[in-house]
Amino acid sequence: MSMKRTNVYADPEDLAIIKEAAKRRGISEAEIIRQGIHLAAMANRVWDEPLFSRTFEGPGRTLSKPEVRDTVAEAVRREISSGSGSVA
């Protein structure tokens, strides 16, 4: 994998923690910093497709707690009556 060099300013306390972690884990400080950069990049990535691409029919509003509870209870009753579920 090709790498590109860059310079960043970092808090001295963070660098001390990275140095200690690198020693403890037996890897380079640079590797820990690369892992952090990768996590930051992935956390800020804009994905081409939404995480949930399926849509569901509904009332077009957020359900109340009692409506959610009743809907789940009804689904459990249907599953139990069909014989496909088990109750603990």
21: domain range? 12-44
In a domain, 29, yes or no: yes
The amino acid present at 77, given as its one-letter code, is R
DSSP, residue by residue, 26-82? TS-HHHHHHHHHHHHHHHTPPPSS-S--------SSPPPHHHHHHHHHHHHHHHHHH
In a domain, 57, yes or no: no
In a domain, 27, yes or no: yes
In a domain, 70, yes or no: no
pLDDT digits (tens, 9 = 90+) for 33-77: 999 999 999 999 888 877 776 666 777 888 899 998 998 899 899
Task: Please state the domain count of the chain.
Answer: 1
> How far is residue 35's CA from residue 40's CA, in Å, rounded to a whole number?
9
Model confidence, pTM: 0.53
> How far is residue 20's CA from residue 26's CA, in Å, rounded to a whole number?
10
pLDDT digits (tens, 9 = 90+) for 10-44: 999 999 999 999 999 999 999 999 999 999 999 99
